[in-house]
């Protein structure tokens, strides 16, 4: 009997060791990992520079508390603030914690309660972030939720115009909905949301937990759309697998998060910070992101050519290394069959196969993945005829 609560439906694979884009199971089987630990291992598994940085910190100190000034925390905050072209950072331990802090900051900074979010969004599983999430299945059985959230259809600017008013603290969105099915915000919609926030004195919060730290080919996905958010949250890819989350805000918000207002025992832990600094040093380099962009284009070309016309595929959506293949196939079954053939993938929404390959994926690995996808999807397409 397992002594773990059965909160996760587990795969049959037990990893033995992982390196780069590959996981080797305890049964010796090799898997091409196009999940990156659900968008976390953006540099692949066990990137050397991150391993060295964490090893070096392990030999200095592991935890001292946030009573101490820590130069590395300052350096990580500066990297994040510079990467987002913003000012101030609060470190948390996860995506939900970062979003929770962002919601608190927005309420305190505006003195207002109402927050607008979107259908199919996912913001976390704490009470505030679960309440913010626009998916009923996430909340089932846990009610009542916080009452001050309104959920609107993504890309429907008229709905935002109707809902936003002088009591709105913030509009919070993912520019690419990850868990919800790789739905991409439209340029005009995203711009207009920013304008409406300004006009109504509300804050624009962008949840980059999944899209941040290079996942879409830029440091943050909002930079594809030239937006100027008031608050950005990020987590997954930031520590290459060590738990860390962050709220990035603006200097005008400093006094709302003064001493004693918010905090976390482990937030900004030295080991996670060492991993984050080493990760950002690589990913925020222009040259690195150029290669990501080039390989994303190659992946799109290959998918369009080899999968685009298969009857089982209804749409391919992509921003950088965040890909959704909308399909008529049974997604959980498809994920299983791909895994049996050595390719690890994810589901999203109810009919989307999600690919989150490491940003370091090579053309040969893309070829291998597309070949496996093609052979499995062809059998689905044949079965559908
Ligand atoms: C957009 C988004 N926000 C928040 C979260 C929650 O992050 P965590 O699981 O680290 O709490 C996730 C996790 O998938 C996410 O994709």
The tens digit of pLDDT for each residue in 246-281 reads 999 999 999 999 999 999 999 999 999 999 999 999
Count Cβ neighbours within 10 Å for each residue of 121-146 and write b for 16 or more, e otherwise: bbbbebebbbbbbbbeebbeeeeeee
Atom of ligand 1 nearest to the CA of 210: 16
Q: How confident is the model over 140-186, as pLDDT tens digits?
A: 999 999 999 999 999 999 999 999 999 999 999 999 999 999 999 99
- pLDDT at residue 201, rounded to an integer: 98
207 lines ligand 1 (CB under 6 A): yes
Among the listed residues 233, 213, 217, the one whose alpha carbon sits nearest the alpha carbon of residue 225: 217
Mean pLDDT, rounded, of the chain? 97
What is residue 134's DSSP assignment? B
Q: Is pLDDT above 80 for 384?
A: no
For ligand 1, is residue 239 a contact (CB within 6 Å)? no
Q: Are the C-beta atoms of 180 and 348 separated by less than 8 Å?
A: yes
pLDDT at 323 over 90: yes
| CATH 3.40.50.1970 applies to domain 48-283 | no
pLDDT of residue 97: 98
Instruction: Over range 12-36, report the average pLDDT.
Output: 98
pLDDT tier at 380, thresholds 50, 70, 90: confident
Q: How many CB atoms lie within 10 A of CB 265?
A: 9
Residue nearest to atom 8 of ligand 1 (CA): 95
Give the position, in ligand 1's atom list, of the atom nearest the Cα of 177.
Answer: 1
39-84 residue pLDDT tens: 999 999 999 999 999 999 999 999 999 999 999 999 999 999 999 9
Residue numbering of the annotated binding site for N(2)-acetyl-L-ornithine: 125, 264
Listed by start position, the domains of the chain span 15-33+291-384, 48-283
In this predicted structure, what is the pLDDT of residue 326? 98
Q: Atom of ligand 1 at shortest distance to CA of 99?
A: 4
The reply to whether ligand 1 has any atom less than 6 angstroms from the CB of 248 is no
Mean pLDDT score, 91-107 = 98
Judge whether residue 302 has pLDDT over 90: yes
Q: Does domain 15-33+291-384 have CATH number 3.90.1150.10?
A: yes
Name the residue among 127, 130, 181, 136 with its Cα closest to residue 154: 181
Q: What value does the CA radius of gyration of the chain take, rounded to a whole number of Å?
A: 21
345 class by beta-carbon count within 10 Å (0-12 exposed, 13-18 middle, 19+ buried): buried
Measure the CA–CA gap between 56 and 61, rounded to whole angstroms.
9
Distance, CA of 168 to CA of 187 (rounded, Å): 22
Helices (H), the chain: 36-39, 48-58, 71-84, 95-110, 127-132, 136-139, 157-163, 187-200, 270-283, 286-306, 331-340, 363-384
């Amino acid at each position: 009997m397992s002594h773990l609560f059965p909160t996760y439906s587990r795969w049959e694979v037990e990893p033995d060791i992982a390196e780069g884009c590959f996981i080797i199971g305890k049964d010796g089987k090799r898997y091409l990992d196009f999940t990156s630990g659900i968008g976390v291992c953006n540099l692949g598994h066990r990137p050397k520079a991150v391993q060295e940085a964490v090893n070096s910190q392990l030999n200095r100190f592991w935890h001292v508390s946030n009573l101490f000034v820590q130069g590395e925390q300052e350096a990580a905050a500066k990297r994040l603030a510079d990467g987002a072209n913003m000012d101030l950072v609060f470190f948390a331990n996860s995506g939900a914690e970062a979003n929770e802090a962002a919601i608190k900051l927005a309420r305190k900074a505006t003195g207002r309660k109402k927050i607008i979010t979107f259908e199919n969004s996912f913001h976390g599983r704490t009470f505030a972030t679960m309440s913010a999430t626009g998916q009923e299945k996430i909340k089932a059985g846990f009610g009542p939720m916080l009452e001050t959230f309104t959920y609107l259809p993504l890309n429907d600017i008229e709905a935002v115009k109707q809902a936003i008013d002088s009591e709105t603290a913030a509009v919070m969105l993912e520019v690419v909905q990850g868990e919800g099915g790789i739905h991409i915000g439209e340029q005009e919609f995203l711009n207009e949301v920013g304008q409406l926030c300004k006009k109504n004195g509300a804050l624009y919060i962008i949840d980059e937990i999944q899209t941040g730290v290079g996942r879409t080919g830029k440091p943050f996905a909002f930079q594809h759309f030239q937006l100027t958010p008031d608050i950005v949250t990020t987590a997954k890819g930031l520590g290459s697998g060590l738990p860390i989350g962050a709220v990035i805000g603006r200097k005008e918000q400093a006094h709302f998060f003064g001493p004693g207002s918010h905090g976390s025992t482990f937030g900004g832990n030295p080991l996670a910070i060492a991993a984050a600094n080493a990760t950002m040093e690589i990913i925020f380099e222009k040259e690195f992101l150029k290669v990501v962009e080039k390989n994303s284009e190659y992946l799109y070309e290959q998918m369009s050519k080899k999968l685009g016309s298969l009857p089982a595929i209804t749409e391919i959506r992509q921003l950088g290394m965040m890909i959704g293949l909308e399909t008529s196939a049974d997604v959980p079954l498809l994920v299983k069959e791909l895994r049996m053939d050595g390719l690890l993938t994810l589901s999203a929404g109810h009919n989307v196969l999600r690919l989150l390959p490491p940003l370091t994926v090579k053309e040969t690995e893309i070829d291998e993945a597309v070949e496996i996808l093609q052979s499995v999807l062809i059998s689905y397409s044949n079965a559908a005829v």
